[in-house]
Structure 1
Amino acid sequence: MNTKLRPPAVPLVTIDPFFSVWSMADRLTDDDTRHWTGRRQAFTGLLSIDGVVWRFAGRVEPNPERYYTEPEAMNQTGLEVTALSTRYEFEAGGVGLDVTFTSPLLPDDLELLSRPASYVAYRVRSLDGKPHQVRLYTDVTGEWCVNETDQAITWQQEAQGELAVLQVRHAEQNPLHSSGDDQRIDWGTFMLAVKQTPDVQTYLDQASIRKQFVREGEIRPNEGKAALAQPQPVREAELVLACVWDAGEVAGTDEKSQLIVLAYDDVYAIEYFGQPLEAYWKKDGTSIPTLLIEAFQNYPDLMARCDTFDAKLREDAIRAGGEKYADILSLSYRQAIAAHKLVQDSEGQVLFMSKECFSNGCIATVDVSYPSIPLFLLYQPELVRGMMRPIFKYAASDAWEFEFAPHDVGQYPLANGQVYGENKLEGQMPVEECGNMLVMAAAVTLADGNTDFVLEHRELLAKWADYLVEHGLDPEHQLCTDDFAGHLARNANLSVKAVMGVASYGLLCGLLGEAEAAERYRQAASDMARKWEGLAADPTDESHTVLAFGQPGTWSLKYNLVWDGIFGTGLFGEEMIRREVAWYLEKQERYGTPLDNRAAYTKADWLVWAGALAETREDFQRIVEPLWVFLNETRDRVPFTDWYDTKTARQIGFQHRTVVGGLYIKLLKDRGWERA
């Protein structure tokens, strides 16, 4: 029985929605590396061992329409994915090679989390004790800085201190000129940086230099020096940013190592209600040369911090839900962060802007933030406030005409106002978004005890709470976050969200010392919950609740109930929740329990939230481990999808979304509010 997870896609370079590259294959040599959208952004690696060249990453021939005999792939003997690093192990010709990709997204350091620099570290050693001559070749392509390969690029190399920095950029620089979903950045500068030492040579040339390395195990001194005509379309130039490390002789137990940094300066990151904003790491005037120098200087300390974080996260995850749950959380961590961009507004406040990846490309989507928050509540609550600020700003403006909360503030990277549903009433999610914002506000305040944020936005929160008291118990015909299932009236799970939204506002009033208001909203939520249990009961089968009030014989995952346990509000009956969990187990397919009775698909985030309703660790594992099986067996090689078929393991839609942060809900529930 296989107990080691085979990820559907492996995170390599994961910083933000534009700078996120993955391996979508079992082995790093099986395919080119790709942007999360599936477009090729190639990273190629070759290793010469005693004059014989092997391949450890990607492919040599850049044009699949041409025939070329690829060098033999090294034997990939290991793959480990932790929260912050991906480690590959290879063997060939008596030599071992370790390749480690690390994006140091440590949540206690926002400048570091924002820094657009990702490490690739190499270590070579003799496996048979004999001496071997080793030389390593790495390159990345001009594809990394354009949206389409017919776009022209320019390139240059600079010395920055002790570093050699190879750079490539789109010839037409126009930051923030467009928005979209299946879109890559075509402004700013992509870089490969390496320390200038006698054993390292760097090249800006056509990809044909790969073939010379394959034939000769090196690149002749006169190669890579001839100036190519600039600018040129990516597909015609076939430009690579390459370096060759001559490791010399490796023998005995000696190990040798090398490090490169891949970085991206996007110039401007987000347009925020008409104002272009730079990435957060630039807030104090830090420059790219300084960033790169510090990246190399800080590497040993950063890796120690990353390893400590990885180990603690895995330990906590195993305690909460077992080894497979730990695998799921490790695979989801970098994606949850890399689906955001961290910036700072003109008042110096943190904005953590999500992209609704392969959904519609919306930015700062409320019902995408809501499922993602467990990870951020655990490790950095300020990022949850950073998700909410754009919504509060927009909802308080004259541009927002409705009495309920908005869905989004634009399409990534342009945050200039909601685009979802063309702002027509029938396209909105009134109960959904009000409930989401209220739960998020209560959760982030409980997480660290800081009430300043809710005081600042008190008027909107109160309005949304009153909206839910009036309209939330028995929702009208409207959308919820599971909008792919269409409009639904009297949605029982949406009603739970309304109850928890009202309860959340009561909690906030209590935290603000307003006892009378706290009791009034607590009582309103309690009354709604009692009525809910009557409305949601299935008269034909008392073992579960219905999908929608008045629809006997239906059912759904009541994932929104999880906050009743996390907040300790105790509004809903424990026996009802036990029956729900038992029902979810009864309805389970090979790859998980469907979202509801209407279709065989499920949502990964909601599945884990439903599992977190279980009283025992064993029942939680029984509900969640089919998700691990899905990841291990699906044929759809994409970054962690959250919407898939529970019978076939096929992706239905969505990938690379931050909602996988919601998979941390069991850690959050187990930890409680000890931070407060």
Structure 2
Amino acid sequence: MRVHLWSSLFVLLFVSLSYSQDSSTVPVRIPLAIRSPYYNAWVDSTASGHTWPFFWAGGTLGWQGLIRVDKQVYQWLGFSGLNPPVANLTNTQLTPTQTVISMQAGPMDINATFLSPIETADALKQSIPLSYLSLEAKSRDGVPHSVQVYCDISGEFVTPDTNAILTWSSSTTGSSSFHQIQLQINQSLVDTNNRAHDLTMVIATQSNPEVSSRIANDTECRGQFSDDGILGGTPPTTSAKMGNPYPVFSISRDLGNITQTSSPMVWAIGGFRDPAISFTTSTGKVQQRSPLFASSYSDISSVVDAFVVDFADAKARADKLDIQILDAASDISPTYSSMGSDNKWNMSDVKMFMKDMGMSGRVNPVENVYAAFPFFLYINSTYAGYLLAPLLEYQDSPQYSQPYAARDIGQNYPIATGSNIPHSQGYEQSSNMLIMALAHARASGDGSLISQHYGLLKDWADYLTSFNVTPPDATTVDQERQSNTTNLAIKGIIGIKAMSEISKALNQVEDADRYANFASAFANTWLSVASSSDGQHLLASYGNSASWAQIYNSYPDRLLQTGVVDNQTYEAQTKYYQSLLSGTSSQFGLPLDSSTDITNTAWTFFTAATTTDSTVRDSLINPVWTHATKDTRPLVLQYKVDTSDPLPTNGASNPALGAVFAPLALSIPSQSIVVPPSSGASDSTSPTTHSSIVGPVVGGVVGGVVLIAFIVVGALFWRRRRRQQYAMYSDKVYLHSQPIDEPPVIIPYTDLTLSSTQLPSSDNGETQDSPLGTMARPSKAQEAGLTSAAYKPSPPASSSYSAAPSSSREPPTEVTSPTTNVSNSDVLGLRVEVENLRRVMQEIQADRIEAPPSYAD
């Protein structure tokens, strides 16, 4: 049985790093609730009481909020046909977990707070697909006023089809009162135009004698509240068409004569699905996975009860997390599943699934998991492992036969059947997986995934080494297709070095040294062929002197402190970015490279996190903030820098926006990697596992991460001026995890691997000084190749790739601390000799003009 993080970790929600913004400076579209790809609501920030909220992919959501003050009704959410006066918008505040809309309703000031919890320490709570809406009121004149409040949702939350038949019911327990609504024809795991056919919506509040509720058409419910300040009446039926008239599900409360609310009026709203996803295991068995909360709550009623009574504590946890993230951001920059036969849950098997929202709709798209990884590492690195687990399990099985990493584990969320399809992104996706595997192990201290799938990770590393510094002419995830791509090559080299660190963590010393030598040698060659002729910056493509690019793929080198790229190169690139920014007239950002007018929000933040100057970093991020405040749709990944227009497949609300945490993730301390004794390869049907149900789904379908987080960073970029150097990962062992509210302890990083500045050149030992580091002078074969932009050196003899048999995919059998009497100088000397020999062999091979092995797309 598996636990997949039910649709709600949305990278977990809109992390907007701003303290408070008046409504003129927040984005045009702001989130109200983000708990899954199917419960995901937004509103126009300038007119919350003048317009209806909408679904992230388009379409109106009937969500009405009314307040009755001394019998006068005001709208504070939605736009009722009754047309009462609209509460006057006075302020909008965004935090990492909350949107607070402040308004004036006659003599009362009101705050409506939309809270989508991010539960960093409790996966079960995170799996509950509900959000909070709370309302507070205070008299402006100090005089008590009669106040009643009202909220409803329509069937549009379930379906946009006005001819669809809805069914509903109402319940009252000792803890809660709620309505639940669903389609009469409920089709499990069916998704049409990003809308689920198996969604059960709920609107609830805590039980109270002053609470009243009603299900009727929209004019009846809203009209009754406006006239009487109370709801009542038995619904004439338990089903009806979704539209014309629209049935609404309303809950109100009489607050009495007050000068101020003693506690907020709270509604809980959300959408349930069970099963949440269909996952094909490594044995080919199809599992219908349930959300994790199902392991503790027997029905929707019990979940709702627990959620509504937890509001005060949930709000306190959210406030604490908001402060933590905002303080961390300001330090960086002042402007920055179903059940098994025995009915027991296998709580050791937790998985998380992501939808490629606003783009392809694929399941766990590797490039977007990779982009979002900084967020998960920062919030809770265990969640990062939950995302990797299904990708690794599927590919480390007979179901998968490609020599490189897959692009995803399913073409259409929520069906995760696996994806054994040849594709042209093998180099990039293999690099992504190796980098993420190491990042998760270091941040969490959990070595179970890298141990269990060690053979698979080695296969991918060997695939990368077979290409030396010349990735195949393949399409990147950004749909760029050009030969000798500098940016793609460096990601592969970092992936190889990550494999070395994985081997080191598992005490596979021979492997660790081998991959480290490959990475060091490749990095040196890469720098020599990727640099511009004046040595001032890196090219987009080897030999193309007119090209340049955002080298965002060097970010994991900073994150993991692998030392693949030397600091001189980062400094030179930073200066070059500065010159590009000063020379552009675009107010919306820097293109990805010299061949396009398109940029990517995620990769811009990766690039910004690699800079060595905070002013340049801020200059890269500020235009993204400008774009976010002008675009009229939910936050997007891809847009044109000249016009701010999103692309047709723009990645609106995409989880990849978690990349806005790239600068924050650099401060995460490294943990001692521990491999549990029982972390060998597992099979959910094996006798060695619990004979139980498929695990609960933790909260998972990280579908709509609309991280307004980067807005936070952006807003802070104008707030305070305090400079901080990036805190780097340490290669030393921590004896304990750092408490979340204490600053990380940074231990200096050390590495015996030779950097490019320590290696002699391939010709005669002479070197060439350059702002990009001390580069080895290219050989004659290399120079000739660069002239035609077709240089493709063959890999060292030891790097030829061959797919390892499945039997080789076994975890290390022993993890011990190696001992050695070899001095550091001996190791360095040996590596210099090995590098000299490798270079001689490379020149001989280059002179023979042998091409590296090729792979079909």
TM-score, normalised by the number of residues in structure 2: 0.71
Query: How many pairs does the alignment contain?
Result: 633
Match of 2:381 in 1: 381
Residues 188, 628 of structure 1: alpha-carbon distance in 2 compared, 3 angstrom cutoff: closer
Write the letter of the residue equivalent to 2:328: D
Conserved 8 A contact 1:277-1:345: no
| 2:447 counterpart of 1:436 | no
Larger % of helix: which? 1
Conserved 8 A contact 1:42-1:140: yes
Match of 1:417 in 2: 418
Match of 2:563 in 1: 570
Write the letter of the residue equivalent to 2:573: E
Which of 52, 76, 80 is 2:89 aligned to?
Answer: 76
Which of 641, 644, 659 is 1:646 aligned to?
Answer: 641
TM superposition shift of 1:145: 1.7
Match of 1:559 in 2: 552
Distance 1:244 1:452 in 2: 50
Pairs within 5 Å for 1:130-529: 130-146=143-159, 148-176=161-189, 178-179=190-191, 182-213=193-224, 216=227, 218=229, 221=232, 224-228=233-237, 230-251=238-259, 255=262, 257-273=264-280, 274-322=286-334, 324-325=335-336, 348-410=348-410, 411-418=412-419, 423=421, 425=422, 427-471=423-467, 473-483=469-479, 485=480, 487-529=481-523
Write the letter of the residue equivalent to 1:366: V
User: What SS does the aligned partner of 2:461 have?
Assistant: helix
Distance 2:21 2:118 in 1: 27
TM superposition shift of 1:666: 0.9
Match of 1:39 in 2: 59
Conserved 8 A contact 2:45-2:92: no
- Greater relative contact order (Cα < 8 A, sep 6+): 2
Identical aligned pairs, as a percentage? 22
Larger % of strand: which? 1
Match of 1:622 in 2: 619
Distance 1:11 1:233 in 2: 28
Distance 1:498 1:242 in 2: 55
TM superposition shift of 1:34: 1.5
Distance 1:25 1:112 in 2: 29
* Residues 284-293 or 50-59, more deviating: 284-293
Conserved 8 A contact 1:22-1:36: yes
Residues 300, 255 of structure 1: alpha-carbon distance in 2 compared, 3 angstrom cutoff: closer
Over alpha carbons, which structure has the higher Rg?
Answer: 2
TM-score, normalised by the number of residues in structure 1: 0.89
Distance 1:376 1:211 in 2: 42
| 2:676 counterpart of 1:663 | no
Conserved 8 A contact 1:101-1:121: yes
Map Cα deviations across residues 436-455 of structure 1 (whole Å, 9 max, x no partner). 00000111111122222111
| 2:606 counterpart of 1:609 | yes
Write the letter of the residue equivalent to 1:158: S
Write the letter of the residue equivalent to 1:546: L
Map Cα deviations across residues 34-85 of structure 1 (whole Å, 9 max, x no partner). 2211222221111122222111001113xxxxxxx62221111121111111
Write the letter of the residue equivalent to 2:195: R
Residues 254, 17 of structure 1: alpha-carbon distance in 2 compared, 3 angstrom cutoff: closer
User: What SS does the aligned partner of 1:89 have?
Assistant: strand
Distance 2:231 2:205 in 1: 20
Write the letter of the residue equivalent to 2:644: A
Conserved 8 A contact 1:158-1:165: yes
Distance 2:527 2:287 in 1: 48
Residues 24, 362 of structure 1: alpha-carbon distance in 2 compared, 3 angstrom cutoff: farther
TM superposition shift of 1:148: 3.0
Distance 2:231 2:379 in 1: 50
User: What SS does the aligned partner of 2:244 have?
Assistant: helix
TM superposition shift of 1:592: 1.6
Write the letter of the residue equivalent to 2:63: F
Q: What root-mean-square deviation, in Å, do the aligned CA atoms of Structure 1 and Structure 2 show?
A: 2.2
Residues 433, 248 of structure 1: alpha-carbon distance in 2 compared, 3 angstrom cutoff: same
Distance 2:305 2:221 in 1: 28
Match of 2:110 in 1: 97
Which structure 1 residue ranges, 5 or more long, are not aligned?
Answer: 62-68, 326-343
Map Cα deviations across residues 616-647 of structure 1 (whole Å, 9 max, x no partner). 3333222212222221223x222x21112222
User: What SS does the aligned partner of 2:666 have?
Assistant: helix
Distance 1:295 1:117 in 2: 8
Write the letter of the residue equivalent to 2:271: Y
Distance 1:472 1:150 in 2: 59
Distance 1:553 1:561 in 2: 21
Distance 1:644 1:302 in 2: 36
Write the letter of the residue equivalent to 1:631: A
User: What SS does the aligned partner of 1:380 have?
Assistant: helix
Match of 2:825 in 1: none
Conserved 8 A contact 1:49-1:133: yes
Write the letter of the residue equivalent to 1:18: Y
Conserved 8 A contact 1:561-1:613: yes
Conserved 8 A contact 2:21-2:91: no
Distance 1:236 1:72 in 2: 24
Match of 1:598 in 2: 595
User: What SS does the aligned partner of 1:523 have?
Assistant: helix
Map Cα deviations across residues 276-327 of structure 1 (whole Å, 9 max, x no partner). 11112213454322211111222212211111111111000110122x42xx
Conserved 8 A contact 2:63-2:153: yes
Write the letter of the residue equivalent to 2:549: S
Residues 172, 37 of structure 1: alpha-carbon distance in 2 compared, 3 angstrom cutoff: same
Distance 1:82 1:226 in 2: 39
Conserved 8 A contact 1:48-1:217: no
Which structure 2 residue ranges, 5 or more long, are not aligned?
Answer: 1-19, 281-285, 337-343, 672-736, 739-857
Write the letter of the residue equivalent to 2:306: E
User: What SS does the aligned partner of 1:547 have?
Assistant: coil
TM superposition shift of 1:256: 5.5
Distance 1:280 1:80 in 2: 32
* Residues 445-454 or 307-316, more deviating: 445-454
TM superposition shift of 1:226: 4.2
Write the letter of the residue equivalent to 1:21: A
Distance 1:472 1:292 in 2: 56
Write the letter of the residue equivalent to 2:407: H
Residues 283, 480 of structure 1: alpha-carbon distance in 2 compared, 3 angstrom cutoff: farther
TM superposition shift of 1:522: 0.9
Conserved 8 A contact 2:369-2:655: yes
Conserved 8 A contact 1:14-1:103: yes
TM superposition shift of 1:242: 0.5
TM superposition shift of 1:215: 5.5
Distance 1:512 1:127 in 2: 65
Write the letter of the residue equivalent to 2:111: D
Distance 2:556 2:528 in 1: 20
Distance 2:536 2:597 in 1: 20
Residues 165, 535 of structure 1: alpha-carbon distance in 2 compared, 3 angstrom cutoff: same
TM superposition shift of 1:243: 1.5
Write the letter of the residue equivalent to 2:173: Q
TM superposition shift of 1:573: 2.9
Residues 412, 345 of structure 1: alpha-carbon distance in 2 compared, 3 angstrom cutoff: farther
Write the letter of the residue equivalent to 1:442: L
Distance 2:526 2:609 in 1: 21
Write the letter of the residue equivalent to 1:248: G
Distance 1:245 1:220 in 2: 9
Residues 284, 294 of structure 1: alpha-carbon distance in 2 compared, 3 angstrom cutoff: closer
Map Cα deviations across residues 117-137 of structure 1 (whole Å, 9 max, x no partner). 211111112111123222212
Distance 2:347 2:143 in 1: 62
Residues 188, 644 of structure 1: alpha-carbon distance in 2 compared, 3 angstrom cutoff: closer
Distance 2:350 2:612 in 1: 37
User: What SS does the aligned partner of 1:236 have?
Assistant: coil
